[in-house]
Chain A
Amino acid sequence: MQSEKSGPLQVVGRRLPRVDAKERVTGGAVYPADLKLPGMVHAKLLRSPHAHARIRAIETTRAEALPGVLAVVTAADFPELPIGASVPMGETGYDMWMVAQVNMARGKVLWIGQPVAAVAALDLHIAEAALGLIEVDYETLPAVIDLAAAMAPDAPVLHEHVFTKGVEPRPRTPSNICSRTVIARGDATAALATAPATAGISVAIDTAHQGYLEPQATVAEVDANGFVTVWTSTQGQFTAELMIGRMLGLPLSRLKVCPLEVGGAFGGKIIIHGEAVAARLAQKCGRPVKMVLTREEVLQGGSGPPSAARIDIAVGADKDGRLAAIKASYHLDAGGLPGLGPSLVMQASAALYQCPNLDLQGFDVVTNKPRTEAYRAPGGIQAAFAMEQAMDALCQRLGMDALEFRKRNSSVTGGLMPIGTPFPSIGLTTILDRVGAHSCWTDALPQGRYPRGRGLAVGYWRGTSMTSAGHITIAGDGRPMVTMGAVDISGVRSTMAQVVAEEFGLPLDDIHVQTGDSKSVGYTDPAAGSRVARTSTAALVEASRDALAQLRARAAEKLQCLPDQLDYAHGAFRSRQRSGAAISLPELMQATLTDGAVVGRGVSTKLPLGVEIGAHVCDVEVDTDTGLVTVLRYTAFQDVGRALNPIAVEGQMSGSVVQGIGWALMEGFDYGPDGRLRNASLLDYRMPTALDVPPIECVIIETPVPGVAYGVRGVGEVPIVPPAAAIANAIARAIGVRMRHMPMTPERVLRALNA
């Protein structure tokens, strides 16, 4: 489709406030917990007290008899879905059997906190009292809480149907190791044996949490005809709709999901958590049902945390510092159900290095803990914590500058990804050059009271594309009204308003953008994988051009000329043949309002990848008396393709870095031997406050992606990848000790110092 515009960008790329900021600063933004419907009642979940147990029976009569209780549901109220029943979501899809287990255990509980029943009652006090009256007869089973226990030869098996995939011949007995993934080229073992310089590290990473401030909340209502409406906090209304529909056995035409404001998600609000249960309760009691999770529920089992991991890496180089081999194994703790799989993690950790010999093996392992879910570049920070420390140790072995080493081995456009396909346009070498010229790298490290060090780490995330749709209706006053399928978790309403303003040559204030519910806009995958700004841009550029083509035809008729004799700029069509013959969009729409709607449609399905790459430099001071690590200075470099709005890009980068610093230094789940989370509160699970982090300097580099509207790359995920590694490398250079356990709490730093 021909572009209607030319010349320098007017709105895209400018530092503009978010279009939805005012309602946020006034408290007017509506999140699902804020909804109140007439006759609405309140739901609570009963959760498993055991990490592994068979459910023999659930007795709900006493709870149902409590005055004020309107409905009770258990797994018996939902259709039993076959293992492997899938709903689409990108390349892989979601196993609905697993989604159903996460929302309501059937037959067996696999972690403490897994839902086993739910109650709807007139108020929360009654609902809570009713939970105490539900009797669940459990036969407790031996539980496996960590990776080592789960992989032991005589370990209790969580799932009788899971046989390790990726192993030949196919195993005869079920296993807690769900899959083995191999990425290999050349002969890494031989190359390591002969490499003049080698280094290696084994690390363990504790589970953390996405830490979104808004606990999951949902309201479900059933109308007199049985049509179900669900308002919820979700990253994807269409994925949620598919999941709710399957769990309820409800045709999609009988169901609508309305996404409200999302108070943070970061991967934790892709799959449903309670929506289908609230809807079933609403069907049973005939009243709207609200379910809001508590913080303890969120942490203990509400949404899945990201994977714990054990990673072992050996790397080798020749005497000039050219990488000869990477050999690594990745064990990812999936929690109670098979996980996302280690492939992306393995790719992420090795992608930025050109290396002739690779031997990467990954294992997806189940344990009796909450089923893990995505968290911002899922697995990326764990992988970088291991790989970037191994590379840094190799630099030290070689006596080589860490930046020079990366430059010598960096992946380039057209080079091979770990899986063997060529890299699309990437700007890693540009990023590394920018690091080398920046004061964060060239300034001498100031002296402090305690030892200080400077660390460098690079990070890669592949991101994804998948499907985004949107349409633009031209209002009677000629202004574009945008409805997009993308849920706004990163300011995408604002950046898309900028894109449409640019396409129409109109001021930003003329554009209205909303996210549609699952029945008012085309199918759109969830806001995940750094895909939404890129793919929505492509979809809305197409929709804008479609709408403008329709407007052009109308304008030609009004001005009595051929469509291609018209120029369009700044909201008006002008004849090239007859000077003065012109019509503005408001005039055109007023003149043709009764001719039918002008609706431009756009969809983006298979956009080229916009891989994300960043490099981070940080200075730390290590208090050798207490083990406390203070981050003194932090600089993040990232190639974003094109910054649609630099304020939004910086917000994504800084927020992502601070999450990374949090996991690096303070955030970790502490599971007891019984599988109980011992720090299920925000006092004991500490996330960074404004006092825990320094200012984050963001350096935006723009290498546009060819063939993608405005050349946009993903932004939000990769900045969480390098922080733990950059900090660990800084610590190693400060005190000469490698950190092998994340988070790097003061206690662990002291132990490492005294080891």
Chain B
Amino acid sequence: MKTLITCTVNGAEHTLLIDTRDTLLDLLRERLGLTGCKEGCGNGNCGTCTVLVDGAATNACLMLALEAPGRDIVTIEGVSLQGKLHPIQRALVEHGGTQCGFCTPGIVLSAKALLDNNPSPTTADVRHAIAGNICRCTGYDKIVDAIVGAAATLQAGGR
């Protein structure tokens, strides 16, 4: 069944005819071309599809596209604006916190959800915040270091 919805993604409003079976991930990737969010499992177990829904890190594969209207949705494409990297992204680059890169967009958004609410997290806080994002390449240390580093940059007023 098809239905018409209006949703806000990265600040822009979209009106689309969707298949009611589509997930938010299908909507973002297939309809809006926002392919930065990835499908690693389709079951909410790996975190590669993490986006922010009203500020909360959310698995886009577990939400129906039908639920998108009225929510503020931010994808990785909405994190760096005008080509300027967010401090979390910059720290991941500098610390070597991205290897194959498939988990990276989800990690960035989980980290953003954390730092937006807790500006000075401990490494334990960081590990909890990204526990829903599996990374198979890095062993996590450089990701954790990067997020802690980004928090310090943001605290110091860095952008």
Do B104 and A25 touch (CB < 8 A)?
Answer: yes
Given contacts A211-B136, A682-B43, contact A696 B141 (CB under 8 A): yes
Do A18 and B134 touch (CB < 8 A)?
Answer: no
Main secondary structure of the interface of B (DSSP, over half): loop
Within 8 Å CB of A689, what residues of B? Answer: 130-134
Q: Complex: how many Å from CA A656 to CA B136?
A: 9
Do A213 and B142 touch (CB < 8 A)?
Answer: no
- A261 beta carbon closer than 8 Å to chain B: yes
Q: Which of A22, A292, A656, A682 contacts B85 (CB 8 A)?
A: A22
Q: Complex: how many Å from CA A491 to CA B100?
A: 8
Chain A nearest CB from B31 CB (Å) reads 11
- B119 beta carbon closer than 8 Å to chain A: no
Q: Which of A26-34, A466-474, A598-606 has 4 or more CB atoms under 8 Å from chain B?
A: A26-34
Within 8 Å CB of A264, what residues of B? Answer: 100, 102, 136-137
Given contacts A33-B39, A654-B139, A655-B137, contact A25 B130 (CB under 8 A): no
Within 8 Å CB of A693, what residues of B? Answer: 139-140
Q: Complex: how many Å from CA A666 to CA B135?
A: 16
Within 8 Å CB of A653, what residues of B? Answer: 139
Residue among A21, A211, A653 with the most chain B CB within 10 A?
A21
Determine the residue in chain B with the shortest Cβ distance to A28. B36
Determine the residue in chain A with the shortest Cβ distance to B43. A681
Within 8 Å CB of A159, what residues of B? Answer: none
Determine the residue in chain A with the shortest Cβ distance to B130. A690
Q: Which of A24, A34, A295, A681 contacts B98 (CB 8 A)?
A: A24
Do B131 and A25 touch (CB < 8 A)?
Answer: no
Given contacts A24-B101, A211-B136, contact A125 B142 (CB under 8 A): no
Q: Which of B19, B48, B79, B138 contacts A655 (CB 8 A)?
A: B138
Do B139 and A655 touch (CB < 8 A)?
Answer: yes
Within 8 Å CB of A687, what residues of B? Answer: 134, 136
Within 8 Å CB of A650, what residues of B? Answer: 96, 141-142
- A755 beta carbon closer than 8 Å to chain B: no
Scoring B residues 8 to 36 as 1 if CB is less than 8 Å from chain A, else 0, what string do you get? 00000000000101000000010001111
Q: Complex: how many Å from CA A691 to CA B124?
A: 8
- B144 beta carbon closer than 8 Å to chain A: yes
Determine the residue in chain A with the shortest Cβ distance to B132. A689
Q: Which of A27, A648, A659, A690 contacts B127 (CB 8 A)?
A: A690
Scoring A residues 211 to 224 as 1 if CB is less than 8 Å from chain B, else 0, what string do you get? 11111000000000
Do A655 and B99 touch (CB < 8 A)?
Answer: yes
Do A214 and B45 touch (CB < 8 A)?
Answer: no
Q: Complex: how many Å from CA A29 to CA B100?
A: 10
Within 8 Å CB of A36, what residues of B? Answer: 33
Chain A nearest CB from B78 CB (Å) reads 10
Do A262 and B100 touch (CB < 8 A)?
Answer: yes
Within 8 Å CB of B76, what residues of A? Answer: 26-27
Do A651 and B101 touch (CB < 8 A)?
Answer: no
- A624 beta carbon closer than 8 Å to chain B: no
Do B37 and A22 touch (CB < 8 A)?
Answer: no
Determine the residue in chain A with the shortest Cβ distance to B139. A654
- B89 beta carbon closer than 8 Å to chain A: yes
Chain A nearest CB from B133 CB (Å) reads 8
- A683 beta carbon closer than 8 Å to chain B: yes
Q: Which of A626-681 contact B (CB under 8 A)?
A: 647-648, 650-651, 653-659, 681
Chain A nearest CB from B131 CB (Å) reads 5
Do A17 and B96 touch (CB < 8 A)?
Answer: yes
- A489 beta carbon closer than 8 Å to chain B: yes
Do A658 and B101 touch (CB < 8 A)?
Answer: no
Do A263 and B100 touch (CB < 8 A)?
Answer: yes
- B77 beta carbon closer than 8 Å to chain A: yes
Residue among B29, B36, B131 with the most chain A CB within 10 A?
B36
Within 8 Å CB of B136, what residues of A? Answer: 211-213, 264, 266, 655, 659, 687
Do A215 and B40 touch (CB < 8 A)?
Answer: yes
Q: Give the size of the chain B interface in residues (CB under 8 angstroms).
A: 57
Do B42 and A213 touch (CB < 8 A)?
Answer: no
Do A26 and B85 touch (CB < 8 A)?
Answer: yes
Residue among B96, B126, B128, B139 with the most chain A CB within 10 A?
B139
Q: Give the size of the chain A interface in residues (CB under 8 angstroms).
A: 54
Q: Which of B38, B41, B138 contacts A263 (CB 8 A)?
A: B38
Do A683 and B45 touch (CB < 8 A)?
Answer: yes
Do A25 and B98 touch (CB < 8 A)?
Answer: yes
Within 8 Å CB of A25, what residues of B? Answer: 80, 85, 89-90, 92-93, 98, 101, 104-105, 108
Within 8 Å CB of A657, what residues of B? Answer: 139
Q: Complex: how many Å from CA A26 to CA B138?
A: 18
Do B98 and A31 touch (CB < 8 A)?
Answer: no
Do A683 and B43 touch (CB < 8 A)?
Answer: yes
Determine the residue in chain B with the shortest Cβ distance to A685. B45
Q: Complex: how many Å from CA A33 to CA B76?
A: 17
- A294 beta carbon closer than 8 Å to chain B: yes
- B60 beta carbon closer than 8 Å to chain A: no
Determine the residue in chain B with the shortest Cβ distance to A36. B33
Chain B nearest CB from A724 CB (Å) reads 16
Q: Complex: how many Å from CA A26 to CA B108?
A: 9
Within 8 Å CB of A29, what residues of B? Answer: 101
Chain A nearest CB from B101 CB (Å) reads 3
Q: Which of A34, A212, A489, A658 contacts B35 (CB 8 A)?
A: A34
Q: Which of A33, A262, A292, A651 contacts B142 (CB 8 A)?
A: A651
Scoring B residues 70 to 108 as 1 if CB is less than 8 Å from chain A, else 0, what string do you get? 000001110110000100011011111011111111001
- Show the binding face of B for A, using Cβ within 8 Å: 19, 21, 29, 33-43, 45-46, 48, 75-77, 79-80, 85, 89-90, 92-96, 98-105, 108, 126-128, 130-144
Selected A-B contacts with CB under 8 Å, 6 pairs: A18-B93, A21-B96, A31-B38, A263-B102, A682-B40, A690-B128
Q: 18 additional contacts, CB 8 Å, given A21-B98, A213-B38, A689-B134?
A: A22-B89, A24-B101, A25-B80, A25-B93, A27-B34, A27-B105, A29-B101, A212-B100, A212-B102, A263-B38, A264-B102, A264-B137, A647-B142, A655-B135, A682-B43, A682-B46, A687-B134, A690-B140
7 closest Cβ pairs, A-B complex: A27-B36, A654-B139, A263-B102, A24-B101, A27-B76, A682-B45, A34-B35
- Show the binding face of A for B, using Cβ within 8 Å: 17-18, 21-31, 33-34, 36, 125, 211-215, 261-264, 266, 292, 294-295, 489-491, 647-648, 650-651, 653-659, 681-683, 687, 689-691, 693, 695-696
